[in-house]
Amino acid sequence: MNILFLVSSMHAGGAERVAATLSAGWAERGHRVTLVPTYTGKGKLFYPLHTGVRLEWLADRLGRSASTPFVPFTKLWALRRLVREERPDVIVSFLTNVNVMALMATRGLSVPVIVCERTNPAVSTSASGLLQHLRRWWYPRADMVTVQAQATAPDMAALVPGIRRLAVVPNPLPDTLPPPRTWSQGQPGRLRLSAMGRLVPSKRYIDLIHMFARLAPRFPDWDLCIWGEGPQRSELEALVAREGLGSRVQLPGRTPEPWTELCRSDLFVLTSEVEGFPNALVEAMALGLPCVAVDCPSGPREITRGGTDARLVPLNDQGGLEQALADLMGDAAERARLGTAAAQSVRERYGIDQVLKQWDALFQAVRKH
């Protein structure tokens, strides 16, 4: 099958990593896959692609017109020409702005289009008012709309009435993910509490640092490491300095080896006020890390099976979150038990083979229609 896969960019990010994983999985199964980043700034390829995946930068088709005021129309026509050239069996599109562009560019071409939302639209602020209006107008014209979590589906159906088909497809675990860590009592060295994500207010890392400042005296063997980059870096660094935690809290930035760093950790925490489907949480659990997660919309509740496979704390319950961290920081046996159970659970549910079977069913449905 010929799959045209549209993404905004291939910079560092959750959607980009999923795009690399899915395209590799389809290529491994013999499909022809063309991955098209639509960002006019082009940028760099942060995640390596499977050798069977063809990369087509839409910016290369724009030329000098990429800097004109008419770039949105130029992009539409460039994408429409690309679709006509490639004659794909199906188009898969990620992110709201790319989804709307894909539906506009393919109008009347009789090519099935599956658009994929990467956040919960009821709580996310990533889409502007204009983009929300365009989503309401164009999504009912898609052959399939997908969301990542069961909790997101009712919100999407309510905000965009008239959707023809709505499916829930979770993010897959990469098939290159290393095996879960093994647990043994009395491991040497310091212990690490890790978080991973963009340094933005919605991740609530300021609250996490304040919380760790209160926990640090009780747990002198523990450090906090927050992986990621973003506009809050200076504010977070200043807070670490004010709390006198320079030797206990690290902000090392992005890492090209997130799994290696997670495997070196002893506990993972997700503190976000909103998520689409937190890849970092799923991958930390798959690597055998015990996890504490806030029950934010959307994803943590179903990923942890309602708190069975990780500690799940109500949103905005800062006392409960601090207590959950303290409980696990002080109990090595429970960390080992919870990490082992988490790895088995998420690998069974979110393995690449299981998720690709769901995509196969979607492809059959839209092509039949």
Q: What percent of the chain has pLDDT over 70?
A: 96
Task: Render pLDDT for 276-303 as a digit per residue (tens, 0 to 9).
Answer: 899 999 999 999 999 999 999 989 999 9
Helical residues (DSSP H) of the chain, grouped into ranges: 14-28, 71-86, 96-105, 129-138, 152-159, 205-215, 233-242, 258-263, 279-286, 300-303, 318-329, 332-350, 352-368
Which band of pLDDT confidence, cut at 50, 70 and 90, is reported for residue 207? very high
Q: Determine, yes or no, domain membership for 34.
A: yes
Task: Render pLDDT for 33-86 as a digit per residue (tens, 0 to 9).
Answer: 999 999 877 778 888 899 999 999 998 888 755 555 446 788 999 999 999 999
- To 5 degrees, how large is the angle CA 50–CA 55–CA 56? 170
Which band of pLDDT confidence, cut at 50, 70 and 90, is reported for residue 15? confident
Which band of pLDDT confidence, cut at 50, 70 and 90, is reported for residue 263? very high
* C-alpha Rg value of the chain to the nearest Å: 21
Select from 21, 175, 263 the least CA-distant residue to 35.
21
Q: Determine, yes or no, domain membership for 181.
A: no
The predicted pLDDT at position 1 comes to 94
16 and 160 housed in the same domain: yes
154 and 226 housed in the same domain: no
Q: Determine, yes or no, domain membership for 93.
A: yes
Q: Determine, yes or no, domain membership for 256.
A: yes
Contact 210, 236 (CB under 8 A): no
pLDDT at 240 > cutoff 80: yes
Burial of 321 (0-12, 13-18, 19+ CB in 10 A): buried
The predicted pLDDT at position 201 comes to 95
158 and 54 housed in the same domain: yes
The residues, ordered by sequence, that sit 6+ positions from 200 with a Cβ below 8 Å of its Cβ are 230, 231, 232
The predicted pLDDT at position 31 comes to 96
SS3 87: coil
How many residues make up the chain in this entry?
Answer: 369
Task: Render pLDDT for 161-189 as a digit per residue (tens, 0 to 9).
Answer: 999 999 999 999 988 899 998 876 545 68
pLDDT at 10 > cutoff 70: yes
The residues, ordered by sequence, that sit 6+ positions from 160 with a Cβ below 8 Å of its Cβ are 121, 135, 136, 139, 140, 145
258 and 147 housed in the same domain: no
Q: Determine, yes or no, domain membership for 177.
A: no
Task: Render pLDDT for 311-358 as a digit per residue (tens, 0 to 9).
Answer: 999 999 999 999 999 999 999 999 999 999 999 999 999 999 999 999
247 and 303 housed in the same domain: yes
Single-letter residue type at 303: I
CATH code: domain of residue 62: 3.40.50.2000
The predicted pLDDT at position 65 comes to 53
Q: Determine, yes or no, domain membership for 207.
A: yes
Angstrom CA distances, 253 to 147, 193, 240, 285, 311, stand at 29, 16, 15, 21, 26
pLDDT at 90 > cutoff 80: yes
Strands 222-227 and 249-253 come out as: parallel
The predicted pLDDT at position 249 comes to 98
Q: What is the largest CA-CA distance in the chain?
A: 65
Lookup result for tokens 């109990």: 331
The predicted pLDDT at position 146 comes to 96
Strands 191-196 and 166-168 come out as: unpaired
Which DSSP category does 201 fall into?
G
122 and 240 housed in the same domain: no
Structural domain boundaries enclosing 247: 191-350
pLDDT at 364 > cutoff 90: yes
31 and 62 housed in the same domain: yes
Q: Determine, yes or no, domain membership for 179.
A: no
Handedness of CA 284, 26, 156, 10 (dihedral sign): positive
228 and 343 housed in the same domain: yes
Q: Determine, yes or no, domain membership for 183.
A: no
Q: In what order do the strands lie in the sheet with 113-116?
A: 53-55, 32-37, 2-7, 90-94, 113-116, 144-147, 166-168
159 and 298 housed in the same domain: no
144 and 242 housed in the same domain: no
Task: Render pLDDT for 210-221 as a digit per residue (tens, 0 to 9).
Answer: 999 999 999 999
Task: Output the average pLDDT for the chain.
Answer: 92
Which band of pLDDT confidence, cut at 50, 70 and 90, is reported for residue 245? very high
91 and 35 housed in the same domain: yes
Single-letter residue type at 15: A
Task: Render pLDDT for 93-141 as a digit per residue (tens, 0 to 9).
Answer: 999 999 999 999 999 999 999 999 988 777 777 777 888 899 999 999 9
260 and 357 housed in the same domain: no
Overall domain count for the chain? 2
Strands 90-94 and 2-7 come out as: parallel
Burial of 99 (0-12, 13-18, 19+ CB in 10 A): buried
Distance CA 282, CA 303 (A): 7
